Structures are given as C-alpha cells and as structure tokens.
Amino acid sequence: MTGFSTTASALLQRAAQRTLHGGVLPGARLSFGMQNSFSFSSLLRLSGGHTREISTAGSSANSKVLLALRSPALAGRNNFLRAAAGTAIPNKPAIRNWLAQANLLKRFSSTLASDTVVDGAESLKSRSGPKRRTVDAPIVGYWTLFCASMVFGIIVWGGLTRLTESGLSIVEWAPITGAKLPTSDEQWESEFEKYKQFPEYHKVHIGITLDDFKKIYFMEWFHRNIGRLFGIVYLVPAAYFVSKGMVTRAGMAKIGGLGLLLLGQGAMGWYMVASGLEKELGERPDAVPRVSQYRLTSHLSLAYLLYAGLSLYGWNVFRANRLARNKIANPETLRALMLKPSIVSYRRKITAATLLVGTTCLSGAMVAGLDAGLYYNEFPTMGEGLTPPLIDLWNVFYARGKPETDMWRNLTENPVTVQLEHRILAMTTFFTLSALWWQGRRLPLPRAARVMLHTMYGFAWLQVALGISTLVNFVPVAYASAHQANSVLLLASALGLYHTLRPFKMLPK
C-alpha cells in the first residue's frame, strides 16, 4: 500500500501542478499517504474555492473525498485547474483504503484526460486566429433597407421633376458647388440667364418669369441634392462597416457592387439631362426639347436595380441573423418545404413574373419620355378598336428618311406605338400575377410567402386602376406620380415573394 500511495501521490502531484497551457503552479505541493493528509491551500485559492463533494464507495460516514475544481463559468474552458482535493480517510482496513484511493485516482485521471482534449482543441482554435464572420451584423440590414427607402423617395421625386418639366432647369453639372441653392437676386438672375440660352426656354417654358423659374429650379435642385445625400448615407457607413469587420466577404462584394451602381446612376443622370440641352433641339422645327427616352429609361432602370439590390441584401441579412440566433422555428423543415418540386416550380414562375413587372415599369419610362400618355386617352380602346390605325402605329415619319431600313424606330420613338406596347405589357403582367395568385393560394406556402402573395396581388390591382385613371384624365401630376410610386411597391412585393420562397442556406454549426 505504501508503494501505491507514493505512486498515486506522484501522479496527482504532477497533474495538479499543470495548468491548461502546460505550466507549473509555483509553490503547490501535494502529499498523499496513509496518514490522510492533503495540503491544497494554494490550489484552493487558485480554484476560486469551488468544491464538489464525492462520496467514496464503501467508506464510513466520515469517509469523504472533496474534489475542488476551478469553476469553468469563472475562468472559461481555457484556463482552469485540473483538480484540487482535500480528504480525511480514516484508518480502516487496507483494502478499503486502497479502493478509496483507486476510485479517487480514476476520477481524477478521467477529468484530466477530458480536459486535455479540450485544451488541445482550444489551443488549435487560438492558433488559427479569429473566427471568420459568417453573417453580416444586423445593423447592416437596417442600413441597406434605409438606403432602399431613400432610393424609393428619389424615384418618386424624380418622377415629379419629370412631370413638372423641371429637369432641364439646371444647365450645369457641378457635383460639389451645385449643392448650394442660389440666395441673392444676382445669383438667381445668373442662373435664369443661363437657362434662357437653351431650347426648352424658347419652346416649352416660353416667357417664363423669374418666380416660375425658381419653382422648377428648386424641383431639380432638390432631386440632385437627395442624390448627393444618398451618396453620403451609403458610402460613409459602408466604409465604417467594412473597416470594423461587420460584414462578410460576400457582403463586401455586394456593397462594392451596389456602390458602383450608385456612381453609375449619378453619371447616367447627368448624361440624361445633357441630352435635353442639345442645341439641335432648338434648330429643328419638329423637335421637342426633352431628355432622350433611351437615357431616361436607362436612368430609371439603374434606380430600380439599386432599389432591388438594397432590398434583397437587407432582407438576406435579417434572415441570416434570425437563423443564426435560432429565431426561425424548424428551419430544416422549412428548407425542405422550399425544395419541394411544386414550390421550386412556383418560385421560377414568380422569378419570371418579377422580371415581367420590371420590364413593364421600364416601358412606362419610355411612355413618360415621349409624353405618350397624351395620346388616345381612352381605355380599353384606342380610337375605333383595341388598336389604333396602322398609319399611326407604323409611320414613315419615324424612320428618319430611311423607310427601307429604319421603320423599326416606331417601336421606341412613335408615342402611339410605345403606348400600345405599354398597354400590352401591363395587361399581360396583370393577368400573369392573377394566375400566380390563384395558383399560390392552393400551395402549402409559408405564412410570410402567403402574405407577400396577397400584397403583390393587391398592388397589381391598384397599379391597373391608377394607370387607367392617369390615362383617361390626361396625365394629371398626382395620378401619374402615384402610378409610378405604386410601380415600385409592386416590384418590391414581387421581390419580397421571391425572397420568401428562396431556400435559405443553413449556417455552419
């Protein structure tokens, strides 16, 4: 027994003196022998005084082994003592003492072995560096959705600027100095004199007064300044989030792509305005000083893309964080539902319908660019039938003197033809969304997808009503602006439905 006690004492001494990093506790000594003396005062101080009482099998009422372990809650798994113990084993038969000591050594060795495995894993983790972020910070989602709301406001105000024929009132592109509104009479007179040098003053706003000029000038100035503010709201937080490591690598790529889209949108805005300031528009008797419908459509398409990208990014950030925090009930079941063939097929149809909604919105930009809403202000007919006379649809005037090769220009430059195209696209979109709504009602869609489905269909009805009202009332500003704003909401609801039907990626555990 004396030999076993010596061996056990040596093993326990070595184990107790090792920390998780392999260090030695200075001054810690342990004696184990038949005289029942453990001296662990120093270890108890380091362990924080937390002890666990273990009854020793076969011992008397006073036979107890106290195993003191450092609390993981206080020091974590990275740095706590293997064990600290104090015992008073009575002088009983040798076999009982041997069993008690063997039981203590077995428990102690088991704890030491498990902690060693944890120690190795933690050491490897610490050597591998900081853990890579798997989801963007929630604030990134709030930020992107706020930016999307700003884009929505810019689109609506830009439509008002177009409807009030104010977009050509500022004839210079000054990204920095142009942010200041003229304040003195001299500054206003200077801006007014610049405007008088361009065709719109002589053909559209003929004899406009300075007070009227101030009104249209403010419309365009405010539109440009909202764009400037949006650039700051986007770029400054983006740089902060990236520098603080609050976005994933994929998030950085998305932020960079959306930033490039933002810069392209600003450049396209001025490129569009410049098309309405060309001197040729004043020299041609048949020309109307207005921006190119091609550039207007490009400008609006970039705005829609920016809005869609920001919205989808923000929604994805929120979904990923809810998944990471276990806020989504039964995610595996929900993912399995999204992967069912019927749901996958339906999602593809929704994707095609969303693209159709976007195409219809852009055809509306062509209508606005050509003032095509001022022709055939009736519905559903156009003149004596559902379509206007062929001479109105396919006129050699729009071939620009090349009827053999350029008659195709009627498709994009003839206001009557462009309006008919918009009508066809609008009704096709409406009936497509109606069919998808009817089909979706019979599918086992999640609650969020079902809400978005009904929302999308409601906006579709409202869009048709606003479009018809705008047409038959000769394009009043209020109706036309509401029609454009609702088109963005319709697109947003279609994107929202598409998003809710996407099977989310399970995060690594």
User: Would you say residue 104 has pLDDT above 80?
Assistant: no
pLDDT tens readout for residues 203-246: 999 989 999 999 999 999 999 999 999 999 999 999 999 999 99
Q: What Rg value do the Cα atoms of the chain yield, rounded?
A: 38
pLDDT of residue 100: 54
3-state DSSP call for residue 80? coil
Distance CA 22, CA 120 (A): 11
CA-based nearest residue to 362, from 433, 416, 412: 412
In the structure, what pLDDT confidence band is assigned to residue 101 with cuts at 50, 70 and 90? low
In DSSP terms, which residues pair with 26 in a beta bridge? Answer: none
Number of Cβ atoms within 10 Å of the Cβ of 492: 20
Contact (Cβ atoms closer than 8 angstroms) between residue 15 and residue 83: yes
pLDDT tens readout for residues 154-184: 999 999 999 999 999 999 999 888 999 999 9
3-state DSSP call for residue 51? strand
pLDDT of residue 284: 84
pLDDT tens readout for residues 35-87: 444 443 443 343 444 433 333 334 443 433 333 333 444 344 344 334 334 44
pLDDT of residue 108: 45
CA-based nearest residue to 230, from 151, 345, 115, 342: 151
SS3 of 93-121: CHHHHHHHHHHHHHHHHHHHHHHHHHHHH
Distance CA 358, CA 347 (A): 17
Which of the pair, 331 or 269, is modelled with greater confidence?
269
Mean pLDDT of 280-290: 86
pLDDT of residue 27: 40
Widest CA span in the chain: 123
3-state DSSP call for residue 475? coil
Distance CA 242, CA 387 (A): 55
407 secondary structure, DSSP code? G
Mean pLDDT of 473-498: 97
**Scanning the structure block, which residue is given the tokens 């038959």?**
472
Q: What are phi and psi of 68, to 5 degrees?
A: -95, 120
H helices present in 164-184, as ranges: none
pLDDT of residue 509: 53
Which of the pair, 324 or 439, is modelled with greater confidence?
439
Contact (Cβ atoms closer than 8 angstroms) between residue 471 and residue 462: no
In the structure, what pLDDT confidence band is assigned to residue 131 with cuts at 50, 70 and 90? low
pLDDT of residue 68: 37
Q: Is 446 left (phi over 0), alpha (psi -120 to 50) or beta?
A: beta
* Cβ-Cβ contacts under 8 Å for 198 (sequence gap 6 or more): 168, 171, 277, 279, 282, 289
In the structure, what pLDDT confidence band is assigned to residue 126 with cuts at 50, 70 and 90? very low
pLDDT tens readout for residues 322-365: 998 988 888 888 889 999 999 999 999 999 999 999 999 999 99
Distance CA 488, CA 166 (A): 22
pTM: 0.74
Which tokens in the block code for residue 4?
Answer: 């076993």
Which tokens in the block code for residue 323?
Answer: 């998944």
CA angle, residues 485, 489, 492, in degrees to nearest 5: 140
Counting residues of the chain whose pLDDT is more than 90, the rounded percentage is: 65
- Torsion sign, CA atoms 365, 371, 375, 377: positive
**Mean pLDDT estimate for the chain:** 81
In the structure, what pLDDT confidence band is assigned to residue 283 with cuts at 50, 70 and 90? confident
pLDDT tens readout for residues 12-32: 444 444 433 344 444 444 443
Q: In what order do the strands lie in the sheet with 51-55?
A: 51-55, 64-68, 84-87
pLDDT of residue 330: 86
Give CA torsion, residues 24, 28, 31, 35, to 10 deg: -160
Which tokens in the block code for residue 19?
Answer: 């920390």
DSSP-assigned states of every residue in 125-164: HHHT-SPPP-S--HHHHHHHHHHHHHHHHHHHHHHHHHHT
End-to-end CA distance of the chain: 50
Residue 128: is it exposed, middle or buried by C-beta count within 10 angstroms (0-12/13-18/19+)?
exposed
Among 142-146, 249-253, 286-290, 419-423, name the one with the lowest average pLDDT: 286-290
Q: What are phi and psi of 96, to 5 degrees?
A: -65, -40
In DSSP terms, which residues pair with 52 in a beta bridge? Answer: 67
pLDDT of residue 380: 94
What 464-473 contacts at long range (C-beta under 8 Å, 24+ apart), as own/partner pairs, is 464/426, 464/427, 464/430, 467/426, 468/379, 470/373, 471/373, 471/377, 471/378, 471/379, 472/377, 472/378, 472/379, 473/377
Q: Is 49 left (phi over 0), alpha (psi -120 to 50) or beta?
A: left
In the structure, what pLDDT confidence band is assigned to residue 129 with cuts at 50, 70 and 90? very low
Distance CA 494, CA 101 (A): 72
User: Would you say residue 474 has pLDDT above 60?
Assistant: yes
**Scanning the structure block, which residue is given the tokens 């207005």?**
290
Give CA torsion, residues 130, 131, 134, 136, to 10 deg: -30
pLDDT of residue 48: 40
Which tokens in the block code for residue 402?
Answer: 């090349």
Among 19-28, 155-164, 260-269, 447-456, name the one with the lowest average pLDDT: 19-28
- Element at 287 (helix H, strand E): none
- Torsion sign, CA atoms 503, 490, 148, 231: positive
84 secondary structure, DSSP code? E
Number of Cβ atoms within 10 Å of the Cβ of 479: 20
